[in-house]
Structure 1
Amino acid sequence: MSQFRLANEADAEQLLHLTRRAYQPIRELGIHFSTAHADLDYVKKNINENLCYVFVGGEGVIQASVSVRLPWSSNPGPLGLPHIWWFAVDPINGRNGIGSSLLSWCEREVVHTQLKSPAVSLGTSNAHPWLVDYYKQRGYHVVEGLQNGKRPDAVFMKKKFSYKEEALEIKVRRPIQEWKIIDGHSLVE
């Protein structure tokens, strides 16, 4: 059964390998995301200090990951909001909706519903050929005037929520037998 769940230290090796595969194009573009150069200790630090969620496929393999840095943590985002980062999808599973579904679920169920946040932030790079546009299509907008002195290519983005009380719809382009959502609710395609 496929599921979204919190990662734990037992997942660290799999997350490291997923991160290395997913961030290979970032390294090739010469963009410095700290996650692109992660080692096992950094993966464990992310798991232990942030909300690190994974999508685990039917065979128990982690196929995607997204983390949320909290405003009160030792590494908060720049806007005083929950901050999305370490978003990675295994290239083998790219372009089938798993990453978008995980991100949508995390935004709605974790950031908006559980953390009661009216918005979320993230950081990306304007040196990447399509990431800024991808996030704009997802409802994020660029926060003007917010710069990272270490990285002039850094772009910070924010998304305000306007969810209605309706069921979360998860769309995946490739059929999956069953989704188990972390709070026990299941969606079947």
Structure 2
Amino acid sequence: MDVRFRLATEADAERLLAITYDAYVTIRELELHWPAANADLALIEDNVRKNDCYVLEVDGDIKATVTHSKGNELKGLTDLPFLKWFAVDPASQGQGLGGQLLDWVERTVAEQTGAPGVTLATAEKHPWLLPMYERRGYERFHAFDPGNGDGMMHLLRKTVVPDANQPQSNGRLDGQPNERVR
């Protein structure tokens, strides 16, 4: 099994759309207003162009994705990089691939930005996302109700590089597709 991490390209958009749509079924059932849950091809392509959209491939097939947002959604709340649009192909869930991708992206983004960690957001009413992220070492630091029916949302952060002034060499920083795990 050949596992690779890389930045997505617009040529990956159709596969990313399929994975994201299939993985976000619970989000739609909960009627959460997350853009990725009802994304179309144009929105996926826009995400790839404007952000760092990472993928994990197994034997050349994309199995998971997560995006490092280049926007400033959290301006005023934190300077840490923001991760969003995490999705794993449902046919590949339970194999640890999503965790591998998150581990690699957390380190890579923290090292590239010089930040000690990363942030993400999730809804309290989702039945398993908040506990899953907390098991992965994320801590809640801000809760808010966006007033759109999503209920309480939580911003979470995770320390990845304890001393950001001393970068660690864990993973490639140049975005090349030759990072392998066997």
Which range, TM-score by smaller chain?
Answer: 0.7 to 0.9
Q: Secondary structure, in 3 states, of the residue corresponding to 1:46?
A: helix
* TM-score calculated relative to the size of structure 1: 0.81
Q: Is the 8 A contact 1:77 1:121 kept in 2?
A: no
Q: Secondary structure, in 3 states, of the residue corresponding to 1:156?
A: strand
Q: Which residue of 1 aligns with 2:47?
A: 46
Gaps (5+ residues) in structure 1? 170-180
How far apart, in 2, do the equivalents of 1:99 and 1:105 lie?
A: 10
Shift in Å at residue 62 of structure 1? 1.1
Q: Which residue of 2 aligns with 1:105?
A: 104
What RMSD, in angstroms, separates the aligned Cα atoms of the two structures?
2.3
Q: Which runs of 4+ in 1 moved over 4 A?
A: 163-169
Please say which of residues 48-57 and 140-149 is displaced more in the overlay: 140-149
1:118-149 deviation line (CA, Å, top 9, x unaligned): 12111101011111111111111111354534
Q: Is the 8 A contact 2:141 2:155 kept in 1?
A: yes
How far apart, in 2, do the equivalents of 1:102 and 1:24 lie?
A: 21
Counterpart amino acid of residue 63 in structure 1: K
Counterpart amino acid of residue 154 in structure 2: V
Among 135, 138, 161, the alignment partner of 1:137 is: 135
For the pair 1:56 / 2:57, whether they are aligned, the reply is: yes
Q: Which residue of 2 aligns with 1:16?
A: 17
Counterpart amino acid of residue 63 in structure 2: Q
Q: Secondary structure, in 3 states, of the residue corresponding to 2:12?
A: helix
Q: Secondary structure, in 3 states, of the residue corresponding to 1:80?
A: coil
Identical counterparts, % of pairs: 37
Identify the structure with bigger relative contact order (alpha carbons < 8 Å, sequence gap 6+): 2
How far apart, in 2, do the equivalents of 1:35 and 1:157 lie?
A: 19
Q: Is the 8 A contact 2:6 2:55 kept in 1?
A: yes
Q: Which residue of 2 aligns with 1:36?
A: 37
Counterpart amino acid of residue 50 in structure 2: E
Q: Is the 8 A contact 1:3 1:182 kept in 2?
A: no
Q: Secondary structure, in 3 states, of the residue corresponding to 1:31?
A: coil
How far apart, in 2, do the equivalents of 1:6 and 1:185 lie?
A: 11
Counterpart amino acid of residue 132 in structure 2: Y
Gaps (5+ residues) in structure 2? none
- The structure-2 alpha-carbon separation of the partners of 1:185 and 1:20, relative to structure 1 and needing over 3 Å to count, comes to closer
Counterpart amino acid of residue 88 in structure 1: A
Q: Which residue of 2 aligns with 1:126?
A: 124
How far apart, in 1, do the equivalents of 2:47 and 2:180 lie?
A: 27
How far apart, in 2, do the equivalents of 1:155 and 1:125 lie?
A: 6
Q: Which residue of 2 aligns with 1:174?
A: none
Q: Which residue of 2 aligns with 1:77?
A: 74
